[in-house]
Structure 1
Amino acid sequence: MPRRDWVPCLPYEEILMNVIKKTVTALTLGVALAASMSACAAQDRWTFDGDIHNNSLAVSPDETTAVVSYSQRPDVVVYDLKTGKVRQVLTGYVTPRNIVFSPTGDVFYLSDSSLGVVRKIDTKTLKVIADIPLGAGAFGTTLSKDGSLLYVNNEAASTLSVIDLDHQRPVAVVPGFSQPRQGIRVSPDGKTVYVTNFLGDKITLVDSKTNTIEGEITGFNKLRAISISADGNTLYAANSGSNSIAVVDTQKRAITTTVIVGKDPYGAALTPDGLHVYSGNLGDNSLSVIDTKTLKVTTTVTGLKAPRQAIVFTKDKSKAYVLNEDLSISTVDLASNKVVSTLKAD
């Protein structure tokens, strides 16, 4: 289990024992524990897994709104990308983990591992529509191809929850992982969910029809973010432990080569045309740009501040938005691979 840091509200052991007595399954335990402690978390900045750091950036389908978070900050910033200004700062979070917009963009979903929920938020009003309780440890999220399901990693319970978004409840909980964190992707054909496991340094493959584990890919080193090519045949994975991006043949379920990048890479973002992978290098404040044909680093983007997984490309393939540690967003021109502007939080 991860280390817990908190300002005491009630003794943790007392709360946990009360929950255990009323709990018969791992999922129920997580939900009950979150319900018992979420009020305390929001009030006193108790963190369930505050020693795990990550950030998230999501851009609405119409590319007018960006929502950003960093797990060490309890606020979530919403930017208007047309005006370049902050629309609003959302409060009441503890360790916000991942953000994803619905296909229509009218709502977005935000996970918080200390509150143990996925929160559904109206994009226009920025009001909370619903909280979906999943238990402390709720982390990485991704949508099914039709947008009807939300897959949620739980790094504490080592499970994958499958959420029916119409009914806002889990329809399946898949066990058998090893601390799955932010990295999770659905294959282009929608048949396979790729789930990263930080412990064990492997990617687990889940059959999306049966919600069962069907295989794994091993050999990573402090596995972070992943991306998948449009044909589904190649997967790119960030190895922060070896300063590299692993290139995976998904048919063979094996690493075919690795590309050395900058220091402590967390991101492995594939451009919409599939020609380049951008590695977000936390340790040297840069992006490494990899040519996917030659599998060589062609250039390095500098002028960033602790970039991680949060890299999003515009649909016209002209820009990348990169989240910095202070929740500012740097815009990178993809033609020159230079930072051309930065939106700053108030």
Structure 2
Amino acid sequence: MKKIADVPMPGPAVRFDYQTFDPSSGRLYIAHMNADQLVVFDTSKRQVVANLDGFKRVHGVTVAPEIHRLYASVTGNHQVTAVDTESLKTLGIAGPITYPDGLAYAPKQNKVFVSDEHGGVDAVIDARSNKLITNIPLGGGAGNTVYDSVSGHVLVSVHGMNLLAVIDPATNQIISRIPLAGIKNPHGIALDTRDRIAFIAGEENHSLAMVDLQTMKVLSTYQVGEDPDVLAYDPGLKRLYVSAESGTVTIFQNNRKSLTLLGSFEMPHAHTVSVDPKTHLVYFPLENVDGHPLLRIMQPVVTTQSKQ
């Protein structure tokens, strides 16, 4: 990885959490968790265009470009806030949710699915009314929640149970549970929708599972940095980035049925990562570099293998 730029971030030198990239606008939305702020970053101009206050202990953030909405888990208030991505004004608040974390938007049903990490459920919000409509019991703590655009299902990693729950957003029901052998406390998820693969990180045993979404079986497992948190996948380069709380970033090349380790490196507090699939640039919000927060932009080293 080659460092391209360090862009100063607003606010104090405190923890960031999830981020979401909107390809339609080129904006990166970053949860500055312990600053209670949402940072709006223009990747083409490489500058902060807004810094939104009032998002107490914001954890998860996801964008729904189809309806020009941004959803943020305002964990400190046990709520999810809907924001208009054009005006950046708050449109609604849904809750109560015990500990809202990861978020996913199901466009066909116009619903937002929310990991309630400590509540043991996936909460469901009607995006039209911005109201909480139901809770789906998981049998364990909720890790990350993602939307699979091919199957139209919502996938949730389940702490304690060491499985991946598959939800039908039309019925708000779990339709299958995939055991994750070799994974303890699954949390972060990234998808390769084209090759029908899910990558799921185990927090407790610094592990990574490669799951075939057609057979619903674990293909292989790998070791990553201690306490992995956020994953990002570049479908063009077929490259997976696994960021850990320990500051270790592990990089893999996806070979469809297996992964090749390309390497790893260390950065302080580099537990959250995002990638622009068009430019292949990788973004790491770092909470404290020489006393200030910054967004580190990095470029992957492209090999002949990764171009294929």
> Smaller-chain TM-score range?
0.7 to 0.9
State the distance in 2 between where 1:174 and 1:147 align: 16
CA contact (8 A) 1:118 1:131 kept: yes
The answer to whether residue 148 in structure 2 is matched with residue 187 in structure 1 is: yes
CA contact (8 A) 1:287 1:301 kept: yes
Counterpart code for 1:255? V
Cα distance 1:187–1:126, how it changes in 2: closer, same or farther (>3 A)? closer
The answer to whether residue 201 in structure 2 is matched with residue 235 in structure 1 is: no
The TM-score with structure 2 as length reference comes to: 0.81
State the distance in 1 between where 2:111 and 2:173 align: 16
**RMSD between aligned alpha carbons?**
2.6
Cα distance 1:197–1:62, how it changes in 2: closer, same or farther (>3 A)? same
1:335 paired residue number = 301
Deviations 1:40-62 (A, max 9, x none): xxxxxxxxxxxxx8711122333
State the distance in 2 between where 1:210 and 1:104 align: 21
SS of the counterpart of 1:114?
Answer: helix
Counterpart selection for 1:131 from 93, 114, 121: 93
Higher-strand-fraction structure? 2
CA contact (8 A) 2:60 2:100 kept: no
Q: Residues 1-346 of structure 1 correspond to what in structure 2 (within 5 A)? A: 55-104=17-66, 106-146=68-108, 148-181=110-143, 183-218=144-179, 219=181, 220-231=183-194, 233-273=196-236, 275-283=238-246, 285-293=247-255, 294-302=258-266, 304-308=267-271, 310-326=272-288, 328-335=294-301
State the distance in 2 between where 1:70 and 1:298 align: 30
State the distance in 2 between where 1:90 and 1:174 align: 31
Shift of 1:207: 2.3
State the distance in 2 between where 1:173 and 1:296 align: 38
State the distance in 1 between where 2:114 and 2:194 align: 24
Higher-helix-fraction structure? 1
The TM-score with structure 1 as length reference comes to: 0.72
Q: Which has the larger radius of gyration?
A: 1
Structure 1 residue ranges without an equivalent (≥5): 1-52, 338-346
CA contact (8 A) 1:145 1:190 kept: no
Cα distance 1:256–1:336, how it changes in 2: closer, same or farther (>3 A)? closer
Higher relative contact order (CA closer than 8 Å, sequence separation 6+): 2
Structure 2 residue ranges without an equivalent (≥5): 1-14, 304-308
State the distance in 2 between where 1:107 and 1:54 align: 21
CA contact (8 A) 2:283 2:298 kept: yes
State the distance in 2 between where 1:206 and 1:170 align: 17
Aligned length: 281
State the distance in 2 between where 1:54 and 1:180 align: 20
